[in-house]
Amino acid sequence: MKKATVLGIGLIGGSLALCLKKRTDLCVEGFDASETTLGLAESAGVIDRGYTDLAQAVEGADYLFLAVPVGAATDLLDRLAELPLKEGCIISDVGSTKGQVVEHAAGLRNLGAIFIGGHPMAGSHQSGVQAAHPLLFENAYYVLTPLPETPLAEVQCLSRLLTEATGAQLVIMAPDHHDRVVGAISHLPHIVASGLVNQVSRYNKSNEWFHRLAAGGFRDLTRVAAAHPVMWRDILLSNRGAILELMDDWIREMEEIKGAVAEAQPEEIESFFASAKRSREQLPDRKRGVLAPHFECYVDVPDHPGVIATVAKLLGNNEINIKNIGVMENREDREGILRLVFRSEEELVRARSCLRREGYRVFDLEEKQQK
Ligand SMILES: NC(=O)c1ccc[n+]([C@@H]2O[C@H](COP(=O)([O-])OP(=O)(O)OC[C@H]3O[C@@H](n4cnc5c(N)ncnc54)[C@H](O)[C@@H]3O)[C@@H](O)[C@H]2O)c1
Ligand SMILES: O=C(O)C(=O)C[C@]1(C(=O)O)C=C[C@@H](O)C=C1
């Protein structure tokens, strides 16, 4: 039996381990600095076996996946280069930045394995193995960043394994291209969200109404600011070049709108919002992509345990099979939204009317985006 070892069994490593365990016939082992994490992961069936000893964890492995904060990934690669890895072993990672780790791996003479950078474009503000989920990467993009000299056979082999295990859509990109694009759509927005939270929190120290009145808009806009500070520290430190350029552009963008407000220019202000509205509405809908499940609906549900089972049972009793079920997390402290996917339009139509009969509010994708 072939073996994959995931190094770092947190949100992403745990989710990947679950994917590999559920959808491939690999033996899936784990390495983590925390014994408690390994114990949790073993007892929840996330990994077959866990180790705090790196040499034991990677011995005989056909695949290694580094899923630690990006600052720790380069150290781990150095340690791996000192160990006898299995001939032909493929090493990948899941880090949010690619330039630094890919360059570091290429510079390691004795790595004794093929390194191919990777980054699943799905995640959450949560962390730790408790938040791991086998459907986390379903339909998401999953970027691989091989170098021109990386053997094609290994890229194809890794790509096939990840497609089968995660249900994600694999794409190939150059590391620096990845870092600029992801810098703009993930890293800069994270800085802006955290900056907003810090600014309001300073005001709140002398007047508690700032936090009390923080409603849907502020909460939706800043959800990601609750993420793990170490992970984000490492992301910023490993993508400094791209992030500094993006921050300059952001400051210019703010200066422009500040100027329009200062000069009381209604047309400029309106055009600032109008162009943002147009672009926001044109953002591609991932769920309508190549892997698109077309027969889906969304359901408002109260945020209490057992609600997924209740909905699944109701549909099951009416002989409607759910192909996929997921909880959307974008509305903190309010009722949740379940996303239900069916195999046919006929099942979708019957599910809608069955749920509505029971008093659930059911809506489609466009309505969900307006919420
Ligand atoms: N969270 C997201 O949304 C997201 C999405 C895509 C990619 N990523 C990337 O995935 C990686 C992991 O992020 P996460 O959210 O799963 O973090 P996490 O905090 O949930 O998990 C990290 C795990 O690594 C372990 N660990 C840390 N340093 C270690 C070391 N030196 N040796 C052994 N174990 C170590 C921790 O004990 C923990 O179990 C990061 O590189 C991050 O950039 C995160
Ligand atoms: O959804 C979130 O909470 C995330 O922060 C996920 C997110 C992102 O910014 O989109 C965060 C970092 C990863 O590298 C990839 C995905």
Segment 17-68, tens digit of pLDDT: 999 999 999 999 999 999 999 999 999 999 999 999 999 999 999 999 999 9
pLDDT for residue 330 is more than 50: no
Percent with pLDDT over 90 in the chain: 78
- The span from the CA of 298 to the CA of 339, in Å, is 5
The Å distance, Cα 340 to ligand 1 centre, comes to 29
**Structural tokens at position 295:** 């027969």
DSSP label at 184?
I
What's the confidence (pLDDT) of residue 102?
A: 98
Atom of ligand 2 nearest to the CA of 120: 15
Atom of ligand 2 nearest to the CA of 122: 16
**Structural tokens at position 95:** 């880090």
What's the confidence (pLDDT) of residue 331?
A: 46
Task: Considering the domain delimited by 3-173, tell me its CATH architecture.
Answer: 3-Layer(aba) Sandwich (3.40)
Q: Cβ(94) to ligand 1 under 6 A?
A: yes
Residue ranges matching CATH 3.30.2130.10 in the chain: 292-370
pLDDT band at 291; cut points 50, 70, 90:
very low
pLDDT for residue 333 is more than 80: no
For 106-118, letters b (16+ CB in 10 Å) and e give eebeebbbbbbbb
Measured by CA distance, the residue closest to atom 5 of ligand 2 is 124
328: left (phi over 0), alpha (psi -120 to 50) or beta: beta
User: Helices 266-281 and 240-262, interaxial angle, to 10°?
Assistant: 140
| Across 206-220, 280-294, 300-314, 338-352, least confident range | 280-294
What's the confidence (pLDDT) of residue 351?
A: 94
Average pLDDT over residues 315-344: 77
Atom of ligand 2 nearest to the CA of 125: 3
Average pLDDT over residues 93-122: 96
pLDDT for residue 328 is more than 70: no
Please check whether residue 127 is in contact with residue 224, taking contact to mean a CB–CB distance below 8 angstroms.
no
> Which class would CATH give 292-370?
alpha beta
What's the confidence (pLDDT) of residue 289?
A: 32
Q: What residues are paired with 141 via a beta bridge?
A: 169
pLDDT for residue 77 is more than 90: yes
* Positions of E strands within the chain: 3-7, 27-31, 49-51, 63-66, 90-93, 114-120, 141-145, 169-172, 296-301, 324-328, 336-341, 362-363
Residue ranges matching CATH 1.10.3660.10 in the chain: 177-281
Tell me what the pLDDT averaged over the chain comes to: 92
Please check whether residue 85 is in contact with residue 61, taking contact to mean a CB–CB distance below 8 angstroms.
yes
Which ligand is closest to the CA of 329, given by its number? 2
Measured by CA distance, the residue closest to atom 7 of ligand 2 is 123
Which ligand is closest to the CA of 166, given by its number? 1
pLDDT for residue 287 is more than 60: no
The structure tokens 């580094």 sit at 66
Residue ranges matching CATH 3.40.50.720 in the chain: 3-173
pLDDT digits (tens, 9 = 90+) for 237-274: 999 999 999 999 999 999 999 999 999 999 999 999 99
What does CATH list as the number for 177-281? 1.10.3660.10
Which ligand is closest to the CA of 228, given by its number? 1
What's the confidence (pLDDT) of residue 292?
A: 43
Q: Cβ(192) to ligand 2 under 6 A?
A: no
Please check whether residue 122 is in contact with residue 140, taking contact to mean a CB–CB distance below 8 angstroms.
yes
Percent with pLDDT over 70 in the chain: 93
The Å distance, Cα 136 to ligand 1 centre, comes to 15
pTM of the model: 0.81
- The span from the CA of 229 to the CA of 237, in Å, is 12
Q: Are strands 3-7 and 63-66 parallel, antiparallel or unpaired?
A: parallel
- The span from the CA of 95 to the CA of 115, in Å, is 13
Say how many C-beta atoms besides its own lie within 10 A of residue 276's C-beta: 10
pLDDT for residue 198 is more than 90: yes
Average pLDDT over residues 115-131: 95
Atom of ligand 1 nearest to the CA of 234: 43
